[in-house]
Structure 1
Amino acid sequence: MTPDWRSLDEELEHWQEAGHTLPLWWRDDDAMSQSAELERLAKLSADLDLPVHLAVIPHGATHDLVRFVAGHPMIIPVVHGWAHQNHAPAGEKKAEFGAHRPLEELLDDAERGLTALQKMFGSSLRPMFVPPWNRISPEMLTWLAGAGFSAVSTFTPRKAAKPASGLLRVNTHLDPIDWKGSRSLLPPEQLIAQVTRQLRDRRIGDADNAEPYGLLTHHLVHDEAIWSFVSALAKRLLDGPGEAWIYDERMS
């Protein structure tokens, strides 16, 4: 069944009429090695002319991933925690960098992840910290810049552009996967309504349009429905007010 995009198309027309632009960025999580799914991600990124910030899990990242990224300049590696290991107590939401561990351990793991990926990717790595499961101890934010990071990214609209000195926050806003159910695509009408509402809030000033609007994907678990929706949505946004955004550490 073809999704009904009319509500989003109408909202995008309002953006065009008002002369607004939408900074648009893309983050894809959980990379460790080259795969057929990663090749498909790279092709879609090139076809859309929309760079993808690839959140790489340092512990276990392979050199074939380094070679692949080197041959695909539209893929921008960033740091996805350390080992993507859950440290939360039973019954609580999963977190690797939550408040369940001493701050020193959190910072040590974050710095270890940054150092490992800098050795692997060199200058192509951007010092953005992406905590697994999008959860991070608030206390840790104060110290991330001192550990070598200049940006942090989680999920849902940010409350502040700079949560700490020298640290930019750039979150993601739409995740199309039904993690708690089918693990396929959420109902398209639900996703379209969400994007439409988020863009309307930005257009009328109820949300911060200075924060790039972030698409969040996980290439390793995509099925055809997810690939198709992400492609169609990104193309619509880029054909409208969307302008591709890439993180540069000088922004911090």
Structure 2
Amino acid sequence: MTPDWSSLDRELEHWQTAGLTLPLWWRDDDAMSHSTELERLTALSAQLDLPVHLAVIPQGVTPDLGRFVADNPQLIPVVHGWAHQNHAPAGEKKAEFGAHRPLEELLDDAERGLTALQEMFGTSLRPMFVPPWNRIAPEMMTWLAGAGFTAVSTFTPRKNAKPASGLLRVNTHLDPIDWKGARSLVPPDQLIAQVVRQLRDRRLGDADNAEPYGLLTHHLVHDEAVWGFTAALAERLLDGPAEAWIYDERMS
């Protein structure tokens, strides 16, 4: 069944009429190695001319990923925690960098992740910290810049642009996967309605349009429905008011 994009098309027309621009960025999580799924992600990125900030799990990364990223500069590696290991007690939401471990231990793992990926990717690595499951202990924010990071990224609209000195917050806003259900695509009408609400809030000044609007994907678990919707949405946004955004540490 073809999604009904008419409500989004109308919202994008309002943006065009108002002369507004939507900064758009793409983050894809859980990369560890070269795969056919990663090749598909890379091809879609090239087709859209929209770079992908690839959140790489440091402990599990393999050398072939380093070589593939070097050959495909539209893939921008960032740090996805350390081992993507859950440390939350039973019954609580999963977290690797939640308030379940000593702060020193959290920072040690974050630094280890940064160092490991700097060794693999060199200057192509952006010092952005992406905590697994998008959860992070608030007290870590003050220390991330001291550990060498210049940005942090989780999910949902940010409450402030700089949670700590020298640290920029750039979140993601739309995840098309139904994680609690079939692990396929969330019903498209729900996703489209969510995008329309988020864009309307930005257009009317009820949300921060200086924060790039973030698409969040997980290439290793996509089915055809997720791939198709992601491509169709990004194409619509880029044909309208959206402009591709890439993180540069000088922004912090």
Q: Could you state the TM-score of these two structures normalised by the residue count of structure 2?
A: 1.00
Return the offset for 1:248. Answer: 0.1
Counterpart Cα distance in 1 of 2:21 and 2:109 = 38
**Matching residue of 1:165:** 165
Q: Quote the offset at 1:195 in angstroms.
A: 0.1
Match of 1:12 in 2: 12
Deviation track 1:162-207 (CA, whole Å, cap 9, x = no partner) reads 0000000000000000000000000000000000000000000000
Q: Distance in 1 between matches of 2:60 and 2:80?
A: 12
Number of corresponding residues: 252
**1:56 partner amino acid:** V
Equivalence map 1:125-144=2 (5 Å)? 125-144=125-144
Deviation string for 1:44-65 (max 9, x for gaps)? Answer: 0000000000000000100000
In structure 1, the partner of 2:110 is 110
- Alignment partner, residue 247 of structure 2: 247
Q: CA offsets per residue over residues 4-35 of structure 1, 9 Å max, x none?
A: 00000000000000000000000000000000
The 2-side partners of 1:83 and 1:199 are apart by: 34
Aligned residue identity for 1:146: G
Question: In the TM superposition, what whole-angstrom CA distance separates every residue of 1:105-135 from its partner, at most 9, and x where no partner exists?
Answer: 0000000000000000000000000000000
Find the aligned partners of 2:74 and 2:116 in 1 and give their Cα distance: 21
Task: Tell me, yes or no, if structure 1 residue 59 matches structure 2 residue 62.
Answer: no
- CA deviation after TM superposition for structure 1 residue 239, in Å: 0.2
Q: Which residue of 2 aligns with 1:39?
A: 39
- Does 1:182 pair with 2:182? yes
SS of the counterpart of 1:146? coil
The amino acid across from 1:111 in the alignment is: E
Q: Which residue identity is paired with 1:199?
A: L
Mapped to 1, the partners of 2:239 and 2:60 lie a distance apart of 38
Which AA in structure 2 matches 1:170? V
TM-score (norm 1): 1.00
**Separation of aligned partners in 1, 2:68 and 2:184:** 27
Structure 1 gaps of 5+ residues are none
1:225 is aligned to 2:225: yes
Matched AA of 2:132: P
Give the superposition deviation at 1:220.
0.1
| 1:73-117 deviation line (CA, Å, top 9, x unaligned) | 100000000000000000000000000000000000000000000
**SS in structure 1 opposite 2:146?**
helix
Residue of structure 1 in register with 2:27 after alignment? 27
Structure 2's unaligned 5+ residue stretches are none
Cα offset, 1:2, TM superposition: 0.1
**Aligned position for 1:203:** 203
Q: Does 1:95 align with 2:92?
A: no
